[in-house]
Amino acid sequence: MKRIAAVRATSRHGLLGALALAASLGLAGCESIDDMLFGGSDEEPKYPAATSGDQAGAMPAAPAPSMAAPSAAMGPGPMMGSVVTPVQIAPGSDTGTGVNKTIQQLRGQIMNLENHLASEAQRLADIRNANASSAASYQESKAHIMTHLQLGTTRGNPELVTQWNSAQAALDQMSSNINTLNALGTDVTSDSSAAHFALDSIVSTFNISGAVDEDHRQLAVLEDETNQTIVLIDRLLKEMSDDIQRQTAYVANERANLMTLANGIKNGELYGSDLSSMTGMSAAAPVVPAGLTGGALAVVRFDRKNPDYQKELYSSLNQVLAAHPAANFEIVAVSPTRGSAAAVQIAQASAKRHAQDVMRAMVDMGVPAARLAVSSSTDPTVGAAEVRVFAR
């Protein structure tokens, strides 16, 4: 019988690239908003992590359930991934030859791989269902926060703080699920190597003397089944690679959005999307915006206690970055020159402190700290310290 050519897995390289991407973006959870606003808390919301243990047991007589099937507790949901049904390995009679004993050993190895494949497909389905639940919880908390900020609310509203902590806990669970996906990918990659080794052994067994026709028939059937198994393993690897890349990008983006929401809760304002997403866009216009370098895009006057400037500053930064994503910013602490030498020094120190506060607010809004520079100046025409922000 003509044998099917051996299939070589290529999806392992894609999975390794996804693992590197997950590591480079960093999946550790950020600090609680309670720490940011109120100085720390000993309590953190706990979410159960997705399990990743192998399921032991013999090959099922019926086809395994789809790895994309949602759990009954979640109810009907969108189809997540393709169906992976393990190959049913056909039995073979004992011909009494030495070659047939080798065939029986190889058949046992392939059946063991099929058991692993069914277990790993179910683990992937469990992780996807856990991600779907966490994403729904995150979006619900995020929508609650944005609705209240849009309608107007108090600064540091404790109800929104609780919702923010819930949203972060959901993202932390998604990060944990990505780590579980990485571990599952390692197991499937190991099975892929074992399947290719078994296929090579099957091909080599054809050349062993002392076989009867029935032995070669069983070898040909086992070779076909092993090739089919490799195809299913490669499909599983590709889907895990796609999931890791997609979920890693989603979590990283929402971490930045959470930082913007934290600043909004702190000041009771809705700032919109995170400015860091704009700084990553390619600039179609020159880096230095003409007309902005000569005048400040924002001036914050500290002639009264706790001036409310965040919303106006965010709007100005948003306009600049929309037109010039690669723009840098200079934050200038301006102090008056009136009064005694001691009064001038106090005013300069106060202006520098206010400039640092403005810089921290810009970082909270999503502007990378590497894009910011702080300097100081004096102006005899001003009566109190002020901070001027320039685009460069």
Whether 99 contacts 40, CB under 8 Å: no
DSSP lists the bridge partners of residue 329 as 372, 391
Q: Which residue has the tokens 């277990």?
A: 119
- pLDDT for residue 350 is more than 70: yes
Ordered by start, the domain boundaries in the chain are 11-267, 276-391
Q: What are the tens digits of pLDDT across the range 217-258?
A: 999 999 999 999 999 998 888 888 888 888 888 888 888 788
DSSP track, 110-136? HHHHHHHHHHHHHHHHHHHHHHHHHHH
Q: What are the tens digits of pLDDT across the range 112-125?
A: 999 989 899 899 99
pLDDT at 282: 39
Q: What are the tens digits of pLDDT across the range 260-315?
A: 888 888 888 777 555 555 444 433 333 333 333 347 888 888 888 888 888 788 88
Whether 222 contacts 107, CB under 8 Å: yes
Q: What are the tens digits of pLDDT across the range 6-37?
A: 334 444 444 444 444 444 444 444 445 555 44
What backbone phi and psi angles, to 5 degrees, belong to 329?
Answer: -135, 140
- pLDDT for residue 1 is more than 70: no
What are the percentages of helix, strand and coil residues in the chain, rounded to 5?
Answer: 55, 5, 35
Which comes out higher in pLDDT, residue 85 or 293?
A: 85
* Second CATH level (architecture) for the domain 276-391: 2-Layer Sandwich (3.30)
CA-to-CA dists, residue 295 to 52, 162, 292, 343, angstroms: 58, 41, 5, 28
Q: What is the reported pTM?
A: 0.55
Q: Which residue has the tokens 């002020």?
A: 386
